[in-house]
């Protein structure tokens, strides 16, 4: 991939799960990369592979600090905007977090970008902006978009802001609606939760909801390839791409895979909590499968199925915490 024309890069939230993997890929290509992160959810150790590179810079701050943004963006050509409140589940209990960390911070960033020479912004949105669509697999053209969680609503609001700023101020925007991204360095989500529950009690694993929630899962390496493919090939002022797998897997099957990889063959799987209609929590989407044909036409293809992604990711996380 020829990314020279897009550097220097700034990655907001670059010490997080997805961000740090993008950083590693860009730094491995000897590209100039700056990371802005306050370590509220990311970890500096996630950047161990890149932080000693000559073209790498780490800024320990966040998008609430408006004073640093003009100087930081002065020599930036492309921004990967990944800084966000990452939890879909807890957004119900603390909707203010999703507003401040997602919507308000995106506005702050865009205001600074429009006064700079930044040419491109790549935004990590989410499949939850679709809510519960009637069309499965769901294409980018599906509408109306009716999110059922504060997190999903905040991501959709950010999409709207980015689109408006791009069209008004001549910025090139790429919006990526992500399925469930999993792999090394991830510290939230169903696989991480299962591993921690089983370490405390290997005899029984409690599953939130009815266990039939079925979604697409994609390994982080395939996700990063999707980000870069979209950036390089996007031709419109604003382009939206889904990134997910062509297949799906339910929570019960994920539990079985995690148990197998932990050599737990006698663990009892039980369901508990959740909502009356079987969701794991309020705002949990029960069925999600994205139509990836738009990105696939650009030459992108996932290497790992949902099943293989779950198996590979659980092994990676077990290795990290062993």
| Beta bridge mates, 79 | 10, 121
Task: State in Å, rounded, how far the first CA of the chain is from the last one.
Answer: 35
| Beta bridge mates, 80 | 11, 122
**Could you say which DSSP state residue 104 is in?**
I
**Could you say which DSSP state residue 139 is in?**
P
Active-site residue 151, yes or no? yes
Side-chain-side CA neighbours of residue 10 (13 Å) = 30
Q: To which H or E segment does residue 214 belong?
A: strand 214-215
DSSP codes joined into one string, 235-298:
-SSEEEEEE--SS-EEHHHHHHHHHHHTT-SSPEEEEESS-TTS-SSTT--SEE-B--HHHHTT
Cα 211 to Cα 319: distance, rounded to the nearest angstrom:
26
Query: Taking the alpha carbons of 264, 267, 272, 278 in that order, is the dihedral positive or negative?
Result: positive
Cα 235 to Cα 226: distance, rounded to the nearest angstrom:
15
Contact 294, 139 (CB under 8 A): yes
Of 20, 111, 15, nearest in space to 63 by CA: 111
Cα 256 to Cα 191: distance, rounded to the nearest angstrom:
11
Cα 137 to Cα 142: distance, rounded to the nearest angstrom:
10
Of the candidates 85, 130, 142, 151, the residue annotated as catalytic is 151
290 token code pair: 């994205």
Q: Is 272 helix (H, G, I), strand (E, B) or coil?
A: strand
Active site members: 151
């Amino acid at each position: 991939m020829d990314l020279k024309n897009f550097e220097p890069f700034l990655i907001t939230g670059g010490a997080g799960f997805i961000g740090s993997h993008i950083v590693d890929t860009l730094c491995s290509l000897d590209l100039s990369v700056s990371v802005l992160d306050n370590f509220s959810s990311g970890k500096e150790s996630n950047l161990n592979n890149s932080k000693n590179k000559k073209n790498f810079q780490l800024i320990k701050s966040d998008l609430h600090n408006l004073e640093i943004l003009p100087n930081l963006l002065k020599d930036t050509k492309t921004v990967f905007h990944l800084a966000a409140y990452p939890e879909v589940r807890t957004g119900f209990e603390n909707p203010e977090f999703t507003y401040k960390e997602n919507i308000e911070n995106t506005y702050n960033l865009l205001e600074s970008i429009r006064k700079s020479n930044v040419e491109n912004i790549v935004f990590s949105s989410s499949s939850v902006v679709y809510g519960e669509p009637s069309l499965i697999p769901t294409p980018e053209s599906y509408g109306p978009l009716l999110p059922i969680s504060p997190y999903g609503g905040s991501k959709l609001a950010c999409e709207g802001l980015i689109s408006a700023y791009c069209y008004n101020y001549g910025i090139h925007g790429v919006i990526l609606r992500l399925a469930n991204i999993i792999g090394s360095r991830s510290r939230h989500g169903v696989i991480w939760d299962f591993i921690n529950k089983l370490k405390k009690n290997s005899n029984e694993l409690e599953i939130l909801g009815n266990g039939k929630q079925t979604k697409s899962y994609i390994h982080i390496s395939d996700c990063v390839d999707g980000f870069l493919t979209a950036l390089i090939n996007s031709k419109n002022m604003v382009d939206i791409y889904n990134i997910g797998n062509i297949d799906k897997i339910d929570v019960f099957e994920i539990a079985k895979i995690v148990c197998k990889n932990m050599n737990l063959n006698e663990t009892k799987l039980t369901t508990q909590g959740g909502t009356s209609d079987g969701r794991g929590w309020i705002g949990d989407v029960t069925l999600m499968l994205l139509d990836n044909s738009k990105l696939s036409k650009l030459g992108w293809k996932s290497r790992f199925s949902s099943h293989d992604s779950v198996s590979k990711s659980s092994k990676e996380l077990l290795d990290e915490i062993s």
